[in-house]
């Protein structure tokens, strides 16, 4: 009986070590993924890389993004998965070009970008800490968040035609709430052992952080952009 108890304790300790390893590797890779994102954004702004616009542009973006996501998941057990993830984050950085150019057109554009970055980092730090220590099950929150995600994607596509500023602002506010919920869910999955691959975990958290940043920057530009 004592042997079985020790064996159970050893297995439990081993699982905990594995979870901590996945979480640590995820955070390291998430931090690393910011480098190609910033690089892509800098190249896009500096060289005025043209971005496809309108409904066709949105479909093209979604097609490329989902293509990357499929390839990353297909290769998540090899080094190719890391390379694809970093390539994806570079692409996502490039896609920030229109938003950054619009923000930098404000007199306080640089300040707004730094505020959005700091706000995003703060949101992530707080929610990741909550998800790590909380005993509450956030899987139910994720179900509602997924429904909300589908709705804001549809609303965003519709707003390409309508161009309603109030709808853009509403979508951005909702997106922050939705992707904040996903952070709680995604981090808790790692902590509880539901996600055991750090590449997949990083991809999920990267998308959460990216969408919170862009939404927060949209809101700051709309509410605090200095056009003088």
pLDDT digit of tens for each residue in the chain (228 aa)? 555 544 454 455 556 677 788 999 999 999 999 999 999 999 999 998 888 888 888 899 999 999 999 999 999 999 999 999 999 999 999 999 999 999 999 989 999 999 999 999 999 999 999 999 988 988 888 888 999 999 999 999 898 888 888 999 999 999 999 999 999 999 999 999 889 999 999 999 999 999 999 999 999 999 888 876
The secondary structure of 139-206 as a DSSP string is: HHHHHHHHHHHHHHHHHHHHHHHH--HHHHHHHHHHHHHHHHHHHHHHHHHHHTTS---HHHHHHHHH
Report the domain count for the chain: 1
pLDDT at 4: 55
pLDDT at 54: 84
pTM: 0.91
For the chain, the distance separating the N- and C-terminal CA atoms, rounded to the nearest angstrom, is: 77
Domain that holds residue 99: 2-224
Nearest to 127 by CA among 17, 212, 15, 196: 212
pLDDT at 9: 44
């Amino acid at each position: 009986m004592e042997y079985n108890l020790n064996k159970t304790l050893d297995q439990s300790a081993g699982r905990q070590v594995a979870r901590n390893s996945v979480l640590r590797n995820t955070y390291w890779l998430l931090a690393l993924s910011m480098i190609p994102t910033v690089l892509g954004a800098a190249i896009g702004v500096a060289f005025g890389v043209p971005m496809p616009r309108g409904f066709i542009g949105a479909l093209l973006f979604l097609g490329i993004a989902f293509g990357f996501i499929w390839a990353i998941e297909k290769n998540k057990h090899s080094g190719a998965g890391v390379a694809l993830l970093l390539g994806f984050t570079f692409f996502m950085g490039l896609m920030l070009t229109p938003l950054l150019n619009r923000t930098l057109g404000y007199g306080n554009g640089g300040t707004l970008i730094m505020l959005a970055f700091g706000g995003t980092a703060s949101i992530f730090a707080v929610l990741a800490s909550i998800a790590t220590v909380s005993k509450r099950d956030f899987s139910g929150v994720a179900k509602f968040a997924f429904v909300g995600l589908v709705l804001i994607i549809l609303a965003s596509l519709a707003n390409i035609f309508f161009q309603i500023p109030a709808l853009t602002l509403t979508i951005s506010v909702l997106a922050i709430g939705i992707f904040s919920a996903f952070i709680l869910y995604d981090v808790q999955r790692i902590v509880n052992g539901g996600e055991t691959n750090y590449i997949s975990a990083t991809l999920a958290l990267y998308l959460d952080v990216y969408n919170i940043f862009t939404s927060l920057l949209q809101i700051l530009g709309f509410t605090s952009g200095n056009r003088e």
